Amino acid sequence: MSADVRIGPDDIRRRKGGVPIVCLTAYTYPVARLLDDHVDLLLVGDSVAMVLHGHKTTLGASLEMMIAHGQAVMRGSAKACVVVDMPAGSYETSAAQALASARQVVDETGCQAVKLEGGTDIAEQIAAIVAAGIPVMGHIGLQPQSVEKDGGYKIKGRTEENVTALFRDAEAVEKAGAFSVVIEGTVETVAAELTRRLSIPTIGIGASADCDGQILVIDDMVGLTVDRVPKFVKEYAALRGVVSDAAARYAAEVRSRAFPGPDHVFPATSGKDKA
């Protein structure tokens, strides 16, 4: 695990319109180690609350949770730009609250940037964080932190009114100084048009292949998600079966006393024990 310099938010910003930016979520040290060589950006998403902690929505994430996982991902990576999500409740009230939370996340994790969900409603917060020297990634379109308010996971950009609101949000996030923006769960043509309109890179998830980069939740991508897998996910591996098959074989061998075998125990006669 070595890299001369980490990819920074400015490097990501310069990739607008270039080779697509490869992003994945990561929440733990070993997974960050495995992904670091392959991606440009690792997002410590608040999806961690659902994926690793079993909450029903991302509203289960806390600042402490994000910081603990942010620290693990920083320890496990050397090359990728690491962005940590600001959880619901840590930034919406005021620019001062947002800045204090962002400072805590950056000071305690050493991450390169933070991500906030919202558009015109949080432009002031983004501007305050950026003005303090902390790079911000935006997140528009379907916003999982608003799922209760929206009455479910609703695809955005299906009505003229909604498309206008999306364009306004995108413009507000860009104007506030974000270095890139995630577009989630948005009609393909609208996401493509947003990508054309914005001067900062767009990172799509359930959006468009025309976006400047793509992101997926790591557990979805490797087929480890045990609950609902969204339509926009492509599973590049089938780890559910691998893990459950390994557990079944282990259980059978423990019950039959086939495990531990001679290779996994320490004979009384050996002088050199090595665990």
When asked if residue 212 is in the footprint of ligand KIV (CB under 6 A), the reply is: no
Residues known to be catalytic? 184
For 266, which DSSP code? -
Q: Which of 187, 198, 205, 221 binds ligand KIV (CB under 6 A)?
A: 205
Q: What burial class does residue 31 get, using C-beta atoms within 10 Å of its C-beta: 0-12 exposed, 13-18 middle, 19+ buried?
A: buried
CB of 258 to ligand KIV, least distance (A): 40
Q: Which of 9, 45, 185, 204 binds ligand KIV (CB under 6 A)?
A: 45
CB of 66 to ligand KIV, least distance (A): 10
Phi first, then psi: give them for residue 131, nearest 5 degrees.
-60, -25
How many whole angstroms separate alpha carbon 226 and alpha carbon 209? 26
Which CB atom, from 173 or from 217, has the smaller least distance to ligand KIV? Answer: 217
Which range, of 41-49, 103-111, 233-241, 257-265, touches ligand KIV by CB under 6 A?
A: 41-49
Which candidate, 221, 209, 235, places its Cα nearest to that of 34?
221
Site string (155-194) toward ligand KIV, x via CB under 6 A: ---------------------------x-x----------
Report yes or no: 42 and 6 within 8 Å, Cβ to Cβ.
no
Which range, of 38-46, 127-135, 156-164, 192-200, touches ligand KIV by CB under 6 A?
A: 38-46
When asked if residue 85 is in the footprint of ligand KIV (CB under 6 A), the reply is: yes
When asked if residue 21 is in the footprint of ligand KIV (CB under 6 A), the reply is: no
Which CB atom, from 206 or from 246, has the smaller least distance to ligand KIV? Answer: 206
Q: Which of 217, 219, 221, 223 binds ligand KIV (CB under 6 A)?
A: 217
Q: Rounded to 5 degrees, what angle do the CA atoms 102, 106, 111 make?
A: 125
In the numeric block, which tokens belong to residue 34?
């495995």
The set of residues, in sequence order, having a beta carbon less than 8 Å from that of 45 and lying 6+ positions away, is 25, 27, 58, 85, 115, 217
Q: Which of 35, 47, 111, 185 binds ligand KIV (CB under 6 A)?
A: 47
Q: State whether the Cα torsion 125-126-129-131 is positive or negative.
A: negative
How many whole angstroms separate alpha carbon 220 and alpha carbon 214? 14
Interface positions, 233-272, toward ligand KIV (CB under 6 A): none
Query: Which residues are at the interface with ligand KIV (CB under 6 A)?
Result: 25, 43, 45-47, 58, 85, 139, 182, 184, 205, 215, 217
